[in-house]
Structures are given as C-alpha cells and as structure tokens.
Structure 1
Amino acid sequence: MAYAPVHDYFDINPTFSFPVEHGQYPVDQQEHVVSPESRSFSPTSSRKQHADTELQDVSPYWATPGHPMPTAPSHQRGWSGSTISTEEPPMTKGEPAALLPPSRSFMKKAYTCLPPKGSWFLEIITILISWAAVGAIMGVLARYNGAALPEWPYYITLNALIALLATIATACMGVSLQSGLSQLKWIRFKESKAPLSDMEAFDEASRGTWGALKLLATTRGGVLGSFGATVAVVALALGPFAQQVVTYESRSVESPQGASINRALNYTGALPGKTSSTGFVPILPLKSAVYNGLFAENGRPGASLAFSCPTGNCTWDPYETLAVCQSCVDLSPFVQVFCSNDTTTSGEGCGWQVPQGGRLDTSLDVFGMTSHVPAARGDAAHATIVRLVFMGTEAAHDGGRAGEKRPWARQCVLSACVQTLASGVTNGVLEEKVVDEYVNTTVLDISGDGDDDGKDRNVYVASPRSNSSTPYVLSIEAMLAMRGWFASVFATGSAIRNAAGFNRTVIANDSSSSAVVVNLTVGISSGETFFDSDVVTAFYWNYYEYADGLDMLMRDTATSMTVAFRSFQGVEAVRGRATSVESYVRVHWGFAVLPILTVTGAALFLAAAIYRTKRSRTEPWKSSALATLLHGLDEDARAQFEHSSSLKEEKYRARGIKVQLSQSDDNRTLLRG
C-alpha cells in the first residue's frame, strides 16, 4: 500500500503521539491520527462521527519505544501538496525497510508541485558549440584558401566537412532559440497581463520556422520575440551560405618533372650520290619531310617533332634553332609580254615573263613554275637552297573570272636561317610560333678545286640579335645535297588546258615523265588540265583553293624541313616547364557574413532571454510541459471556456482573455485572469 496524502477538514495536534510499543497492535487494528480535537479514534468511530468525510487508507506509521508518532497539520480545500512532517526516525536493527516511514527526499518528490529550478547550462553549452562549429568552418576555409583541393581518406570532401559543421551549428542554435522563445512566454505573462493566445504563439514559434514566421507576422512577440524569430528563420540559410563561401577553380601549376624539346645547332645530313649533279643526296628523313610539307596539307607540318611533356601542357622560353625559312614577294608589276618569231594570228606564240627568270611560253599556259638552284659560282646568297618563280594567267582571288587573262607572278625562296621560336604544348598538341628569324644574305663563290683547297664552304648563320656568339652551321655537303635533289623535285613545269599541251607534255617526253592529267574544278578554273609534275599540281591546287596558297605550301615545306634539322645529329635539348591543371579552393568571404551574424544573433538573443528572466524573477521553465500543466489557469479563467464547443472556438476566446503569472492564495503560481 503506497503513501498518499489524506485530504480532510480536520486539524491534527502537532504534539500528539502514540504511546504504544512496537508490534503491540496488528496492522489492521491500528488507528490513524486525523482528529481535529487532538484525540485518537478508530476508523470506525471516525466514520460514524463524520459521515461526510471521506477517509483514505494510508500505510501506518509504526510506533517504536522512545519515538513519537509523526504529526501533520490540517489540510484545507484549495491548498496544494502535503505539509505533513516527514521527520525520519532512525532504522532499528531488524526492522523491515518497507515498514519504515518515507524519507524526506521521497516526500518532497511526491508532494511538491513546483518543478526543480532550471538552469541555462545546456543552452550556453550549445551556443558555444555553434560558435565553435562556425569558427571551425572559417578556420578550415582560411587554411585551404588558395591551396589545392585536399585529398582526405574515405573520399571525404571539403564540402562534406563544411555541411557537417553547418548542421551542427544549426542544430545547436536551435536548442538555444527554442528555449529562449519558450521562456519569453513565461516572461510575458510574468511581467504583465497578456492575451492567453500569446501562450500558443510563443510555443509555436519555439517549435519551427512556420511558427516563427507567424510570430513575426503578428508582431506579438515584441522586440525580443521578433528578434529571436528572425534569427530562427535566417538560421535556415546558414548551411547553404556556409557552402557558398567556398568555390573550386582551376589553375596551372608547374610539375617537377619538367619538359624538353630539341633545337638544332648544326645539320650535316647528306650522303654521297653519283646520280646527283652536286655529288651528294639528302638523307631519307629530309626527303620525307619535304614530301610531307608539299602533300600532307594537314596544317600541322611540325607534328612529327619529338618532345617530352609528361603532363600534356608545357611551355618554353623563346629559344633559337637552325631552321629553314621561306619568303615570298609579288612580282606582278614586273610581268612583261613576249612573243616568239613564229607567232600566229591567234596569239598563241606570245607569253609572259619576268626579269627574275619566270615565264609562260604561250597564252594557253594557265600556270607555271620555274626553279632556280644557286650555282657554285655565287649567283645567289650562300644560304639560299632554292628559288621558285610562279606565274599564271588567271587572277583567282582579285575578282578575276574564268578565261580572263590577268597575268601575275610571285617569287618564293627557301633559305637556311636562325629562328627564334616560342613553343608550347596544349593538351598534348605542340604549337610553335616564329618570334624572329635571321637569314645570312652573304654571297659566296664556292667553285674551286674541291675540298683540298682549304676553303670553308659551310653555311654559317648567326643572328645579330642573339645572345650567343656561336653561329649555327649547315654543312656544305647537306646544302649541296638539297640543291641537287631540289633541281629535280622542283623541276620547271606548267599546267595547260588543251590537247596540244597534252601532246607536248606527255608524248614528247620519254617514259620517265611525271606528267599528270586530271579533271579539276577548283576556284574559277575548271575542266581537263595537264600538269608536268605532281609538285606543279600541288602548287596549282593551293593557289586556287587558298588566298595565300603558294605562301602556305612553301611555309609548310620549310617548317617540315626544320623539323628534320631538329631530329638529326647536332641537336640539344631545351628545358621547359611542364604544367598541370589542378583544382584549388577559393574562398568568397562575403558569404561568411550570414553564418557569423546568425550565430552572433542567437547568442545575443539567448543572453537577452537570460537577462529578462532574472530581471523579472521568472522561473526558467522554458518549454517544460510539466510547468504548463502545474501552473495552468485559475478557476476564474477556466470558467470562461466552459461553454466552448470546439478547439477553434477556444482559440478565438483565448484572444480576448488576458492572464498574468502570479501567486495564488495558497502560494501556487498560476495564470490568473
């Protein structure tokens, strides 16, 4: 049987005690101390004398010798709790614990109506944790700002860490904001009378964003309540703004592996050959390079150059190399008409020529190429490899029309030179730009008795703008090999568009002729065209297809030959920088303002709530449901809701009922109307 307070209308003599021996009466025969006249009576007699009094059975206090029975004051209607004395008698050896009077602490827990006084320890700890989380976010961002994207174990990313810290900060702030907003309702009703509906408004605001928005919209929370609700709403954006602080961008970083590319200091590639007019022939890599430049037409004549770039993206400072340069000039102003002695009335015996040596024999020759290889006696610059003069009768790119006679002429030269190159590799593709070039225009007579005369016939090229005093060298053997072979490769030839030209080109020549007959439709020209060689065909095609077709084909050939120079003996490696693309962290500190202000606002709101609680001497009950139950409405306030038929109607009535948290007559704290 449990201990329970006995509610009655009688006073009990506080000095009364039972002078009985321990164990004198059985349990069911013991009497209770409930008489207002300080006398004992049995349960039977009490029921007879006070028929309107309801007595409750309670566990009896066992009287022991030398110990008085506990006494208790009277209980009156309207008073809460028991004030029975709970003086705890000493335990006698052998007494059953269940039969002893309850302890003072147990009686306090059982009969007190006031909850234990709360504290703000948890809220202060959580707001400190929020500060620590936001501070950790800022610290991590400051640590990795401008640094490469960190590689952490288990594929943890920087965004994941920021999201975790932001979640911790938001959750901890929620504890402080919830307690603060809940405490405001008690402060509101303690300081002054307020509509009872404000109790629900504050309670909803402490539970979520929608309630906080409603509290803001109705302005029922006052300055402090509106401030707390604003912080609660803004706290939702803490996570997104915290992650927006950091972005990831790409940049190039230098790799310690480095890069290298070759440059030619000299070139000596040549073989003795009896079939050559000069006694030397080029090595096969050079021949391949010439054909690649003439016929590949891929826009990448230097694609075969070897280089080392481990990352696929490399750069080099400008450097010099022995190379082959091309230059082209317009000779159209120097074109002259000439006619042979057997000129017919149709004018087919007349043609065009230029003083530089190019000519079109008849008006039927629509395109022609004339080659000039420097002689040993020194009729050209010693660095010149070959000189080509191109002529035509149709202006393909200056508004000319098919069949219209508008003769033109252009001269192009290939020479040994020194080039200054700016090289770079992007995504594994080499790109080179000619920054500067220099050609030695010295004319030298290399005729003589041969190598035994002691003359140095090599080609030396040294740019006056170079920092190096050592000239670049092209051996005379390599020069003679190229001149001899070019005399046959770039043999003089033309393109004709009639049967007579075909007979002249194909039938008149022997079986070794390289004449070509094709049906072309290029540019403004079309029809069956007869070419003396494939090289003439290539230059003809480029002239009609591209605005600077002749220059482009000569440039590709020169670049391809330079690659051959840089791929043979006499080269050295040029060191460069290998770069790779890495992602790095960039912090936009402007977005950090909101997380910092949000946590600061939550801390200020909590401090204000604590201060208002102490100033108004309000118990820190916060969101305790037990406090709401135990300190509810008094009888007068509750009476105004007796005729409400629904919760909606009760909410409506609560708007017009003002209550205040105050002490009742029995010292209970109630919401009184």
Structure 2
Amino acid sequence: MTISFRKGLFSGTNDQEGQDVNSQLVSEACSSETPLANPTRKQHDWSWWRSIIMDSWALEIVSMLFSIACFIAIVSVLIVFNGKKRPNISYNLSLNTIVSILATASKSSLVFAIGEAISQLKWDWFQDCKELISMQMFDDASRGPLGSIMLLGHHRGRSVVSFGAAILVFMLVFDPFFQQILSYPTESIKVEPQTGNTAGLENAAFAPQTKYFNSANLSDSEWNGASYLGIWSSDFSIQPQCPSGNCTWPTYKSLGMCSKCADLTSVARLDCPTSEWDSSGNATVSYSGKCEVVLPQGSSSATTITLNVVDGAISNTDIETAMIWEVYRLEDDYDNMTYMDINRPQLVLAEASLGLHDNKIKNDSMVPGIYIEHVTECALSYCIQDYNLSVHGGDTIFQRGSGDFGQVLTLNESLTTPGYLCWAPTGTPSTLGIYATTIGNESIGMNTSAFVFCNWDVQSRPAPVNAARILQMGLNVAMEQTAAAWTQMGLQNTDITIVGTMYSTEVMVKVQWLWMILPALLVLGGNVFLTLTILRSRKKAAWKSSVLALLFHGLRHLDRDEYLTNSAMKKAAENIHVKLQYCDSDRRAMLNEQ
C-alpha cells in the first residue's frame, strides 16, 4: 500500500482514473512491487456510542460544557469566599490551589475543543484549490499558540479559523490572569461575643458617675491625692479593656472636671502702699508693706514689699514678683458668681508676675517702678464632655470634646429646700425630676440619666498645692492636669461600663474581579467558535484532527463510500497493516500495506 496525493482530498481513489494515477505514482516511486500480504482482520464489536462520539461533535460539546462548568465553579468559589477570612482547607490546600485546578481543567477542555474545531476547518479550507502547505499550517495551529500565530500571519484575520487561532494565542495568559484574581489583605473584623466566653470578648471603657464626685463617696485624702497627681504627673488617659488591641466605642457623654483660663493682664490693676520718706535727710529706715493685684471680681493677691533706706536713699528691696492665689471657691453661701462664663465654678485660681522699672524708682518711693507683667486666671468646674475612644494596634486614642460647664440651679423644690442647689448641664429645665439616694451617710438628690446631682459638699475640693511647681509649669497647664486627675479619680471609682466593639486582625480574601474579564471572554469566544464550526460543517463528515482521513483517502483499491466516516476509517485501520519501507530505486520512504 502507498500514499497518493491528488487534487480534491474529499474524492475517492477506487475509480479507474484514480487507480491509474496511483499506479503511476507507485511505479515511479519504486522499481519493484512489494508483495502484499493477506491482511489479518480482527473482529470487534463496536458499541453504538463510540461511533456517535467519533462521527459527531459530542465529545467537543461535552468538553466545552465541562470548561464552562469549571469556570462557573471558579466564580462560585470566589463569590462564596470574597470578603471573608482566608479559609483553612483540609490537606493544607489553599484557595489558590483550588482555583488553579479548576482553571487548568477549564483551559484544557477549551483548548481541546478549539483545536478540534480548527482541524475540522482545514477540510473545509481545501474544498477550493489551496497550497499544500496550508495543511501543515492548520495542523500546527490546532496544536498551540505558536502555530496559531503563524496561521494568523498567513490568513491575516480574514478567515473563520483566525478567530479560533486568536483564542489559542490569548490562552497563554489564561492562567496568569487567574493568579492575579486573589489577594489576601489584612483587615480588622468585628468579633462576635460567644456564649460562655463573653467576659473574654467584652471590651469596655468607663464613664465617671455623678455620685463619685460627691464628698460622701470620696475622702479628702483622695481629693488631695488627685490634686498632687495633677501637678506631678501628665498621663491621665483611660486604659480601656481591649484584649485584641483593636476596639472602638461609640461617642458617649460623661461627667468630669474641666478647666478654663483667661488672660486678665489688661483688666488687672496694682494696688501698693505709698511708702514715702524725706530723701533730703539722712534717714536710715526699713519699710514693709503689701502690694495687691486686684481683679475685676474675687479675691486679690497679697505680696509683701520690703525696702531698706540708708542715708535717705533706697539701699535694697525685697519683693515677691511671682504669686498664685485663690480668687474664688464655691462655699456654702452660694454667692452666684460667674467667672469666664462659668456659673459658680468649683475653684478659681490666678497667677500674676510683677516687674520693676529701675529708672522709675524714686529716692522717696519705689511704687512707680512696680508694674504687672501678666495675670492669668483659671477656673475648675464640673463639665459634660463628649468622649471619642478607640484602640488601634494596642495604642489607645482618647479624644475629648469641648466641655459644657453647665449651671447651678434649684430643682424640684418638693424634694429640696430653699438654697438646696444642684449642678446640671446647660439647658436642663428647672422642672426636671430628681430622686433621693443615700451615699455614705448623706442623702443626695440625683438624676443620673440627665447628669444632675445635688447637695454636694464643696468644702472638700482642695486647690492644687506647691506654688513653685505650678509657677514652673504654668497655671493653665496645672489646672488642666488637675481637672484630668480629678476626672480620672472618678473613672477609677465608677461602675458604669461603656461597651464597644472589638476587632481582630485577620487575613481576608479579596477578589479582583477585573482579572476575570479576559478568561470569561475566552470561554465565551471558544463556545462561539465551536458553534460556528459545527454550523459551517454540518453537511460534511466530521473528520476533525483524524490523520486516517489522509491515509485512507490517499490509498488505492479502497472504496470511497466505505471510508467516509471517522469511525469506519478507524475500524478499517485496525485491520490494515502497513510498514514504512524504502523503495529500491531512489530510496524513498513509503508506507506499504503488508
């Protein structure tokens, strides 16, 4: 048996003309006839479904459906795990591994179906007279991207097969695109409380209670301790309970202590004694008196001035140039004073600094040479503040809003007596109801939801001590820290809990859906290409990539009707034995039937 090529590959070779041509080709190829052995035919009982698979597009359609199913499975997996914690899968499999397996299965099935479609189109291509090299181009294109690139260059995109070849070329980036789909950022996610472990997951901050600012609940030593802490420490932050190191709390209001300061240099005046002497004489005398810094309201300062006069002239002076004094304290008489827009503050202190003009000091008086450098006044009082608290990475972020210093007024006179005052936030109506409660041995009127409390003992609010330390740090800083220390004291004694939300840092799954566009288009394009190929060749035999079609339809003495189907050719091929032999004349290799 020898292979014979002739024009019209779909035509048979069993007619007389074909036999003559084949005989001529064989005669020219070999100088002697190779004896033909009687073929040994094996009988096989082929099942009907095998013929259907080989002679139809069933296998390719199943492959394409499998490719679509794998792609849908990938999308489903991504939808399920997108935005969730990275899963722990059995056998140490990762989500990337599962996606990669499904992507490989989808790609392999898609490439197989497209390759078969390209192979089928080559039989359609040779319905017209074409270059024989096109047979090799189609075969190379069905095998992979390199052959597809060569076919695209030859056809220049002007044939249906170019569509399939382009898909095979773009299949090179099918896997890399899937590798870019998944990323694993770290995010803070809310931790839900679990039964039996609520205490461990509970994150709480604390809000000062009104009752803990009443002297019946806190001793003088605790107030004094907080005052000392205010001028010797600077850390008064809240230390909330946050086991995970990442927590947030809703903004909440809380009672505390606040400070407010103002510069009164422009309105303060100096009141000093008029100590004069006869500078024309030779007097030697010592004078002592007090200079006062007088403010618009409240107590004045008192600083002692001592000077020595020798022979009618000032020899030396002794004056206290820096001073701190108590301007106002809320006493039992409730004098209804207002400082810096704060009604009846708990405590008001002032700081003053005096200077001397040497050139203004006269021989008979030093008063003209004394002047005020600056005066600062600060008040301490109850306030309501907004608290913003959070913990990030173990670091506490604590922010206070501007304070509402509230007001002192009489509420619910059926419960109170005349002169029985209450502290309440600004805007609290005088008709607000309060209830009686006992703290220690005292009866207190309160409305905790409205931050109202009554009948507190103002005598136990000590002023900050150690004037030298206050002068060193500045009165405004000292009062601010004292207010924070008093507020912290309330926090440490409260039993009101502000519950927040705890977060844990987890590795999350994030799907970058844009990387899915090209793979989806390739799967869709593969389906369209296979459908076009099936429709285009629906009236032709489905030879596809079968090499037997070339062999059988190039053999002589074979009836063309018997070998039109792929399954028939394969069945016959199982019973035909050939051998690649060299002809004796020119040593050409030919397949000869044995």
Q: Taking structure 1 as the reference length, what is the TM-score of the superposition?
A: 0.56
- The structure 2 residue matched to 1:567, chosen from 492, 510, 514, is 492
Retained in 1: the 8 A contact 2:244–2:504? yes
Matches within 5 A, 1:134-173: 134-173=71-110
**Is the partner of 1:229 in helix, strand or coil?**
helix
1:368 corresponds to 2:298: no
Retained in 2: the 8 A contact 1:137–1:165? yes
Question: Corresponding residue for 2:206?
Answer: 262
Question: Corresponding residue for 1:385?
Answer: 346
1:431 corresponds to 2:401: no
> What is the identity, as a one-letter code, of the residue corresponding to 2:97?
A
Matches within 5 A, 1:598-617: 598-615=522-539, 617=540
Retained in 2: the 8 A contact 1:418–1:472? no
**Is the partner of 1:411 in helix, strand or coil?**
strand
**Which stretches in structure 2 are left out of the alignment for 5+ residues?**
3-21, 27-32, 47-52, 194-200, 280-287, 306-317, 338-342, 356-370, 411-415, 435-446, 557-590
Question: Corresponding residue for 2:58?
Answer: 121
Retained in 1: the 8 A contact 2:408–2:424? no
Question: Corresponding residue for 1:547?
Answer: none
Question: Corresponding residue for 1:353?
Answer: 293
Question: Corresponding residue for 2:465?
Answer: 490
CA-to-partner distance for each residue in 1:415-443, whole Å, 9 max, x for gaps? 23444434333334151423652333459
**Is the partner of 1:255 in helix, strand or coil?**
coil
> What is the identity, as a one-letter code, of the residue corresponding to 2:254?
T
- For the structure 1 residues 383 and 181, does the alpha-carbon distance in structure 2 shift closer, same or farther, using more than 3 Å as the test? same
Question: Corresponding residue for 2:173?
Answer: 237
- For the structure 1 residues 354 and 604, does the alpha-carbon distance in structure 2 shift closer, same or farther, using more than 3 Å as the test? same
Measured on the aligned residues, the alpha-carbon RMSD in Å equals: 4.6
**Is the partner of 1:571 in helix, strand or coil?**
coil
In 1, the alpha carbon distance for the partners of 2:537 and 2:420 equals 102
- For the structure 1 residues 587 and 343, does the alpha-carbon distance in structure 2 shift closer, same or farther, using more than 3 Å as the test? farther
Retained in 2: the 8 A contact 1:322–1:419? yes
Identity across matched positions, percent: 25
CA-to-partner distance for each residue in 1:335-379, whole Å, 9 max, x for gaps? 32444434799xx99978242524776797664322346254445
Retained in 1: the 8 A contact 2:55–2:541? no
1:302 corresponds to 2:246: no
Retained in 2: the 8 A contact 1:148–1:583? yes
**Is the partner of 1:123 in helix, strand or coil?**
helix
In 2, the alpha carbon distance for the partners of 1:181 and 1:366 equals 103
> What is the identity, as a one-letter code, of the residue corresponding to 2:221?
I
- The structure 1 residue matched to 2:407, chosen from 423, 440, 459, is 440
In 1, the alpha carbon distance for the partners of 2:418 and 2:191 equals 45
Matches within 5 A, 1:541-620: 550-568=475-493, 571-582=495-506, 584-587=508-511, 589-615=513-539, 617-620=540-543
> What is the identity, as a one-letter code, of the residue corresponding to 1:408?
H
In 1, the alpha carbon distance for the partners of 2:141 and 2:266 equals 93
**Is the partner of 1:409 in helix, strand or coil?**
strand
Question: Deviation of residue 581 (structure 1)?
Answer: 4.8
| Structure with more relative contact order (C-alpha pairs < 8 Å, separation 6 or more) | 2
> What is the identity, as a one-letter code, of the residue corresponding to 1:572?
I
> What is the identity, as a one-letter code, of the residue corresponding to 1:564?
M
Question: Deviation of residue 566 (structure 1)?
Answer: 2.1
**Is the partner of 1:138 in helix, strand or coil?**
helix
In 2, the alpha carbon distance for the partners of 1:213 and 1:266 equals 85
1:131 corresponds to 2:68: yes
Question: Corresponding residue for 1:105?
Answer: 43
> What is the identity, as a one-letter code, of the residue corresponding to 1:315?
T
The size of the alignment, in residue pairs, is: 447
Retained in 1: the 8 A contact 2:388–2:400? yes
Question: Deviation of residue 314 (structure 1)?
Answer: 3.2
Question: Corresponding residue for 2:382?
Answer: 416
**Is the partner of 1:226 in helix, strand or coil?**
helix
Larger Rg, first or second structure (1 or 2): 1
CA-to-partner distance for each residue in 1:44-77, whole Å, 9 max, x for gaps? xxxxxxxxxxxxxxxxxxxxxxxxxxxxxxxx94
> What is the identity, as a one-letter code, of the residue corresponding to 1:198?
S
Question: Corresponding residue for 1:481?
Answer: 460
Q: Taking structure 2 as the reference length, what is the TM-score of the superposition?
A: 0.63
- For the structure 1 residues 322 and 612, does the alpha-carbon distance in structure 2 shift closer, same or farther, using more than 3 Å as the test? closer
Question: Deviation of residue 180 (structure 1)?
Answer: 2.2
In 1, the alpha carbon distance for the partners of 2:70 and 2:421 equals 74
> What is the identity, as a one-letter code, of the residue corresponding to 1:573?
T
Question: Corresponding residue for 1:535?
Answer: 470
CA-to-partner distance for each residue in 1:487-536, whole Å, 9 max, x for gaps? xx436x5xxxxxxxxxxxxxxxxxxxxxxxxxxxxxxxxxxxxxxx2233
1:463 corresponds to 2:401: no
CA-to-partner distance for each residue in 1:201-236, whole Å, 9 max, x for gaps? 222222222222222233267421210111112223
**Which stretches in structure 1 are left out of the alignment for 5+ residues?**
6-75, 87-100, 109-115, 273-279, 395-404, 444-453, 494-532, 540-549, 635-669
Question: Corresponding residue for 1:515?
Answer: none
In 2, the alpha carbon distance for the partners of 1:618 and 1:320 equals 84
Question: Corresponding residue for 2:13?
Answer: none
In 2, the alpha carbon distance for the partners of 1:247 and 1:180 equals 36
Retained in 1: the 8 A contact 2:250–2:500? yes
Question: Corresponding residue for 1:207?
Answer: 143
1:283 corresponds to 2:249: no
In 2, the alpha carbon distance for the partners of 1:117 and 1:577 equals 64
